């Protein structure tokens, strides 16, 4: 148990669906992250939030839309995804955005049909 939870753990969606991934951290951290992990590839950073403000958007397609309502919660809204978006989506948090250890949630396994 790392103090970071993600729901759902598994998600199957069609290309026309809209769904959301949720992440919650119970560590009192101020920074939260979304990463994508695909087979045979390194983890790819998607978004970075510091105190609810987005500080980095790593050239992610607009069909992925993040939301950070407060420093404990992070969402990733999904719409009109492609099959190649199937992956493990990992949320992480750290005390600050500045060379700090990140703690990861268990991930959401997403399958786009």
Which residues of this protein are in contact with another protein, per CB under 8 A?
2, 4, 6, 33, 40-43, 45, 48, 55-56, 88, 90, 92, 97-99, 101-107, 109
Nearer to another protein, 80 or 95 (CB): 95
- Least distance CB 89 / another protein (angstroms): 11
Q: Which two tokens stand for residue 55?
A: 């500080």
Q: Which two tokens stand for residue 67?
A: 């939301």
- Least distance CB 107 / another protein (angstroms): 5
CA-atom Rg of the chain in angstroms: 13
Residue with tokens 């980095």: 56
DSSP-based three-state secondary structure for 85: helix
């Amino acid at each position: 148990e790392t103090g970071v939870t993600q729901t759902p753990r598994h998600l199957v969606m069609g290309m026309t669906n809209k769904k959301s991934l949720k992440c919650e951290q119970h560590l009192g951290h101020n920074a939260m992250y979304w990463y994508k992990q695909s087979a045979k590839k390194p983890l790819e950073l998607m978004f970075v939030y510091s105190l609810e403000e987005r500080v980095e958007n790593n050239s992610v397609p607009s069909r992925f839309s993040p939301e950070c309502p407060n420093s404990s919660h992070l969402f990733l809204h999904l719409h009109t995804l492609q099959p190649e978006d199937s992956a493990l989506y990992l949320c992480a948090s750290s005390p600050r955005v500045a060379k700090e250890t990140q703690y990861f949630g268990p991930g959401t396994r997403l399958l786009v049909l």
